[in-house]
Every structure is written in C-alpha cells, then in structure tokens.
C-alpha cells in the first residue's frame, strides 16, 4: 500500500444515526489507522489537484463542506466551512481547473455549485447555484422522492449528469466556461425501479450502476441531442444476499478493460470484462467484507471500506483483475487481503 490513505467515516452506529459521535477523517499508514480530525459524517472526500487541501463533505441534515488543510498530515485542520444548500450531501466532484465544486444531496436532491478561488478556498459564504428537482419512482420505500446521488461529466465533457436514484433519471446540466451550470433537462430515463447510483464513462458509453435493480446498464451518448440511449443491461452479480434481506449496488469503477461493481447484501465486488466494443460481460464475484460501500484503486492495490463490518480491506489489484470465472452460478470466491479495523468507513482516497 502507499504510505498514507485518508478515510472518511460515518458515526460508528451507522448512516442515519446522529452525527458528531466520534466519526471524522482518519489517516491510515502501514503502521496503524488513527482519527486525525473529528468531523460530522464526512462520507465523501475530494482532493484539490495542486494544493494540500481536501474538501470533506458532511452527510448530515444540515450538510456542510469543509476545506481541510493537510499540509501537516498528522495534524489536519479545517480552514473554511460553508453550508452545501441541502440535506445529506453524499457526493462531490471538482470541476476541471478547480473552478467549482459540485455537490449532490441524497435526501433533499439538490445539485449545488460552489465557487473555488485560486487559493483553494470558497469564494462565497453559500453555494453560487442550487438546482432542485422533484419526482418519484415505483419503489415506495426508496423512491418516494427525488434523490440526487452522483454527479459526473458526460462524454465530451460539455455537460454534467446527475444520477437521480428516486426518479430513475440522468439529469443534465450544460457547463459554462466559468464552471457554473445551466439546467438542461433529462439526458436519459431509465427502466422504472433502476435507482441509478453511480456511473463510469468509457468513450461514448456510460455504465450506470442501478442500486435498486442490482444491475449494470450500458448507455450510448448521442452528442447531437446530449442524450443517452439504453443499449444493454446485465445483473451486477449472480451472488445471493447473505448479510441482509436484499442486495443493492454500491459503486462502479473501471480499471482498464474491467468494471468493478460493489454489491451490498451479497457483500461482494463483482468483476465484469469489457469487450473491445464496450460490451459488459460478467466474470465472477469475490468476498468484499460486510457491506462494501466505497472502494478505490491506489497504486497496485484495491482498498474497500466495509461500512457495517467496521473494517477496511486491501487486496492486490493483480489478484482482483486475475479473478477466475465463477466455477458455478452464484458462487462467491475468496481472495487474500489485509485488514484493519475502522468504524463505519465510507470513503477512501490516496493521502
């Protein structure tokens, strides 16, 4: 592993419980993992590309984003904080050129735009733009309202797309040169009950992970209309639920010609191969610990936060990419890993 990783955590009792209960920004080194800075539920972290700053997003009722100076990694400190303009901010992305920070909110469903100065700090005392959305889906328990879960660039990088888990839509926003946005309608309406959570882009293809449908959807981007058409859908895994009554997909990551998809409940990471044309072909799944939430590749290793297992796991990336095809349908495989205890890990990034 690298010399250092940063982890954001939920309260030890889990997502949705009161914040300010010992969670925060953890620093993991080869020697140990320690709480470096107490913060309310920093469930997503964004690194500034050139400055020793991390933007830590507190997933709480009155969400805030904190600019954290990590020039001294043993003593990180908050140098600025502002409200995000919504409730339960759950994902963030820094615009190219670090002009703006984009934030999505799971509960209140806004997309917020925060202007960033040359010093990496916030230009204003509140978001420069806040875009609301309304709607619902057929899953009464999870799609009772709009839920903005993820924001990323569309192919061509002229638009942003927001995964709306509650309405089964990819919302579209046109980019201005200064990083601000114009609301631009819906880029794709997905099958009812999909619950889009995250996506990855591969050329003109968009791979969307459906949290509620536990599937991977392939969409083709059409530049002329700035829209995406569904061309294929496959199950995220064949592994059955083992630690919860249902499965749901938690994340998607492309590594060369492989897609890695986290599936909670089944508690696996599924490995899918991509054909030269971008077709998704399921290969197999391996045990990823109890409730794998966020995972990332750093160097030659895959790091997985097992939220309900209160554990972080590290796998050799070569082992992951060499996973054998499943010997029989639904069989979960085992890979060697290193483990460290950490309460309710939610996000990992390189230090």
Given this model, what pLDDT does residue 135 score?
Answer: 98
The pLDDT score that the predictor gives to residue 31 is 82
Q: What is the pLDDT of residues 88-128, one digit of tens each?
A: 999 999 999 999 999 999 999 999 999 999 999 999 999 99
Q: What is the mean pLDDT of residues 224-229?
A: 98
What is the phi/psi pair of residue 22, to 5°? 95, 0
pLDDT over 70 at 2, yes or no: no
Q: Which residues pair with 170 in a beta bridge?
A: 163, 188
Whole-number Å distance between alpha carbons of 159 and 174:
5
Q: Which residues contact 69 (CB under 8 A, 6 or more apart)?
A: 52, 53, 76, 77, 78, 79
Tell me the pLDDT tens digit for each residue of 192-226: 999 999 999 999 999 999 999 999 999 999 999 99
* CA separation for the pair 317, 66 (Å, rounded): 31
pTM given for the model? 0.96
Mention every residue, 6+ apart, whose C-beta is less than 8 A from residue 278: 202, 203, 205, 218
Q: Give me the domains of the chain, ranges plus CATH numbers.
A: 242-351 (2.40.10.480)
């Amino acid at each position: 592993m690298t010399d250092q990783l940063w982890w954001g955590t939920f309260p030890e009792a889990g997502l949705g419980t009161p914040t300010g209960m010992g969670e925060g920004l953890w620093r993991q080194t080869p020697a140990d993992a320690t709480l470096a800075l107490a913060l309310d539920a920093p469930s997503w972290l964004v690194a500034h590309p050139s400055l020793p700053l991390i933007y830590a997003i507190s997933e709480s009722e009155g969400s805030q984003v904190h600019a954290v100076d990590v020039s001294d990694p043993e003593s990180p400190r908050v140098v600025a904080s502002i409200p995000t303009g919504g409730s339960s901010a759950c994902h963030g992305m820094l615009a190219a050129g670090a002009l703006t920070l984009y934030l999505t909110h799971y509960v209140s469903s806004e997309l917020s735009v925060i202007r960033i100065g040359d010093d990496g700090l916030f230009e204003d005392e509140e978001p420069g733009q806040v875009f609301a959305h309304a709607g619902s889906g057929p899953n009464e328990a999870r799609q009772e309202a709009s839920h903005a879960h993820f924001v990323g660039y569309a192919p061509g990088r002229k638009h942003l797309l927001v995964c709306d888990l509650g309405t089964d839509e990819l919302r579209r926003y046109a980019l201005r040169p200064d990083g601000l946005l114009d609301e631009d309608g819906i880029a794709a309406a997905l099958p009812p009950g999909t619950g889009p959570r995250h996506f990855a882009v591969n050329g003109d293809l968009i791979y969307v992970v459906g949290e509620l449908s536990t599937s991977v959807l392939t969409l083709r981007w059409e530049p002329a209309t700035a829209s995406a058409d569904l061309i294929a859908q496959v199950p995220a895994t064949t592994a059955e639920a083992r630690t919860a009554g249902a499965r749901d997909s938690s994340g998607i990551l492309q590594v060369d010609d492989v897609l890695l998809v986290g599936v909670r409940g089944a508690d696996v990471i599924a490995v899918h191969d991509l054909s030269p044309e971008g077709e998704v072909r399921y290969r197999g799944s391996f045990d990823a610990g109890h409730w794998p939430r966020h995972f990332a590749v750093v160097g030659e290793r895959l790091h997985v936060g097992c939220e309900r297992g209160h554990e972080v796991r590290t796998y050799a990336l070569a082992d992951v990419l060499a996973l054998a095809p499943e010997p029989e349908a639904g069989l979960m495989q085992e890979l060697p890993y290193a483990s460290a205890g950490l309460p309710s890990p939610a996000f990992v990034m390189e230090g």
